[in-house]
Structure 1
């Protein structure tokens, strides 16, 4: 090789390195990110472990999973994930804030059923008689009844003479469930199956018969229909909230901003009457939060949980007039509970419900009312949870940004819009990404096709979120922070941890650090609280890194 050509090649390599470095400098975990010696060692260990488990775990046979592979469906591969050392490590990771989750879908379904069985006021009924033929397609309906309506009849839920629509106490329904249908265990399986999209349904429901976005949303929506009748009952509401806080902290979450649907005006009280207004919902939430924090403090764990706030949410099918009154209700609650109300959102399947433009005038009026009253309830809007390009659901992204959304819930179709990505980066609008949710709800068939790396590589702030973990069986954030996929060594992907940790040769532990920190940075905490939360998280992060190294 002659000297001139060698010189040209050397120049080429310099340009190549400069281009790669410039491109990677846009990432949140760019080469300029400070990395401690311990973080560098831990990152190397994680990368080596990922490679090792591709061969030791994913390349072996697993009962019930004919062909395990790196981008397989979460519901099918969940049990394999639980066998990995990588998941064990990530379960201990301090994950920062959970910024996108719907409260009615955050507590394990088995725990919810246990709470229901403790309440004599809770009853259940079905729209048709139960038999081996009808059971799998029937949804139980739960409701708290006043004492005068308690049923003392000998008729049970599975009795041949059961009249559809007749209420039976939950405990009696379980105790007397027909042995031919599995007895009490059969009752549990039926109810829990109705409240979840569970692994046993993984192939037949999620990935075959319900194989489109709209079809799986039908199943998904039905799970809320079942669980709401149990959860929206004051004696359970309090215990449910406490369990949500407890399980979040146990999974390494130190702060939550949870969406609560305030569309129903009332909750059922202890007397079995639907008469408990929104302000009482928040009183219970506040009291439970304070009790939980006091319990942690007594255990010497006060720094593990900063607190919780609420994103007031309503459904995208209400009228504009109803939205106006809903916004006034939100303002009233903000005035009474300024420390709890963090933002406002409209929720529901974007592909079939009303777009943001339908509500834009009302939302602008809402914003002006806040200015008049000197309060601040930022929009934290769902937008772009769709496969569409130019559809109403996709165009919601434009409206969300123009309305001044603080963060974007989902933003799945955002990567189709370079200008909008640029605006999000410039305005520091964080994207709340819910990896497992997107795969189960059929927005993507695998993590390799997920747009998360595109968002991160373009420098947009991102927080990993769980969305509706109770329905999917991915409680907490550990599953969403796990992914097993190395595209150069037999793609194995799975729970979306991250396309970050496993679907990228560039990304590693530092990306996880930035995701966790960004979740706290983009929370609605006041500056002093935010700094305290980040400082506490940093200390726990250092301990976590040292535990990997040692």
Structure 2
């Protein structure tokens, strides 16, 4: 067929070229990759190739046990400590990430920081259903609560034989008096951390189905929630979320806040703090952090934040009306903060969107009457299913006019829906590490993200629940995406970051200003890269 191999290779080169013209890095925002960017891209590719051999390849110099097979984009929790020592991760940590459009507030602050915040407050107590021992500690979850001063007790330990099950112990005291044979205060910290994070053993061995891992996942929120939903902690928590995001190169945040609890606890341990008060505090802290950045001459590094009002898919449809009305009230009071509405939770196990069609359609009509706009930004298709309720949520999300799709893992099975997303600019909030740990894929090379991108579906890289998964910020997700391809490069990462503003809830003028600010950070990043690696051939 091809007697002349020269002709064959010419045809081959043409086919590869035509195919790669469909990729994101061939559709750059500024149409031209300048010399500095080109050099930086080649540099990053050289580092990736070098580390693929020396760290992830058969000639790896990394010591691991015999059961661990190293490869780029492998199971995150197994690879995390290795990742943090790579040059490529150092580079991704400095990369300006743009907008984070999918994260749940109650899982965005490092667990160690959360514990430190909680220990500041004597009102916070802990209890267990039985005495903690070496045999029981692995199966018992702590329960936390901020108590009224009149409810404080003199109990001193959850590990003492004299402990009465269910008795509240001050958090500081429980930590201080934790049995030395269980590790003392450090053992207490380890016990708490294991309760509100997912370990490698849980992710890859003991919880080996999506149902099992979701049970563990949901339990982390039940445990951590009462620590966070105490106003003095919550305020410091929000501030830490902003600051740690900025430190990771994220300049704009759209965060989902779960409003399932109608009130949270105030300083006195009373459950009377309303959602309106909560958003007022969020707004105040946001403005304070922006002012801090301005005073430091770093205002270009942080544009701001908005909130996606969320509640959980297990509530009855008639009860949803309360939350929809609450969302409208908050939008009227904080029009600059409320960016959208979502229903969250395990799609495979909880109610499909079709259960809520009546209140959701009434919600849209009510907005028209009031002259306000609260777009839907639905989770949909976070499933391995094909034709299941969870998979079919994609149809309903699109028919209901969703602005973006959270996860959209099964979208790749639906050519028509992908076409609609591409033509309508419906971005998919892709959470690579979350999808892997929650057992939708075993590794990044198997993730459908490249197929979505290369078919022209808009995407935004997101972290989802970094405090639970250990992928704080966005650097780890960018790293995993970058190492899982030999075609994508730094320009691809640039496009993912820069385009994220396009799919945000900022208005057009705000988007333009955000991109201009990001462009300044990108130039600083390129300068840093050139200074940091002057001797490396690019």
- Give the superposition deviation at 1:57: 2.1
2:145 matched residue in structure 1? 143
Aligned pair count reads: 525
- The CA distance in 2 between the partners of 1:239 and 1:341, in whole Å, is 21
- 1:12-161 alignment to 2 at 5 Å? 19-30=15-26, 33-58=31-56, 59-66=59-66, 67-70=68-71, 71-153=73-155, 155-161=156-162
- The CA distance in 2 between the partners of 1:417 and 1:228, in whole Å, is 36
- The CA distance in 1 between the partners of 2:109 and 2:87, in whole Å, is 25
- The CA distance in 2 between the partners of 1:426 and 1:29, in whole Å, is 19
- The CA distance in 2 between the partners of 1:502 and 1:172, in whole Å, is 45
- Give the superposition deviation at 1:31: 5.9
- Give the superposition deviation at 1:208: 1.0
- The CA distance in 1 between the partners of 2:231 and 2:13, in whole Å, is 61
Q: Could you state the TM-score of these two structures normalised by the residue count of structure 2?
A: 0.95
Q: Equivalent of 1:318, from 315, 321, 335?
A: 315
1:494 matched residue in structure 2? none
- The CA distance in 1 between the partners of 2:64 and 2:195, in whole Å, is 22
Larger mean CA deviation between 165-174 and 127-136 belongs to 127-136
- The CA distance in 2 between the partners of 1:68 and 1:548, in whole Å, is 31
- Give the superposition deviation at 1:504: 2.6
Q: Secondary structure at the match of 1:480?
A: helix
- 1:223-242 alignment to 2 at 5 Å? 223-242=220-239
Find runs of 4+ consecutive structure 1 residues off by over 6 angstroms. none
Q: Is the 8 A contact 1:68 1:77 kept in 2?
A: no
2:536 matched residue in structure 1? none
1:485 matched residue in structure 2? none
Q: Is the 8 A contact 1:383 1:397 kept in 2?
A: yes
Question: Structure 1's 471 and 31: CA in aligned 2 closer, same or farther, altered over 3 A?
Answer: closer
Q: Equivalent of 2:438, from 436, 441, 451?
A: 441
- The CA distance in 2 between the partners of 1:65 and 1:452, in whole Å, is 30
- 1:226-305 alignment to 2 at 5 Å? 226-305=223-302
Question: Structure 1's 9 and 366: CA in aligned 2 closer, same or farther, altered over 3 A?
Answer: same
Q: Is the 8 A contact 1:254 1:307 kept in 2?
A: yes
1:404 matched residue in structure 2? 401
2:360 matched residue in structure 1? 363
- Give the superposition deviation at 1:398: 0.6
- Give the superposition deviation at 1:19: 4.4
> Unaligned stretches of 5+ in structure 1?
483-496
Q: Secondary structure at the match of 1:289?
A: helix
Q: Secondary structure at the match of 1:132?
A: coil
> Unaligned stretches of 5+ in structure 2?
532-538
- Give the superposition deviation at 1:327: 0.6
Q: Is the 8 A contact 2:125 2:145 kept in 1?
A: yes
Q: Secondary structure at the match of 1:518?
A: helix
1:488 matched residue in structure 2? none
Q: Could you state the TM-score of these two structures normalised by the residue count of structure 1?
A: 0.93
Q: Equivalent of 1:544, from 504, 525, 530?
A: 525
- The CA distance in 1 between the partners of 2:10 and 2:461, in whole Å, is 36
2:535 matched residue in structure 1? none
- The CA distance in 2 between the partners of 1:143 and 1:249, in whole Å, is 30
- The CA distance in 1 between the partners of 2:39 and 2:311, in whole Å, is 46
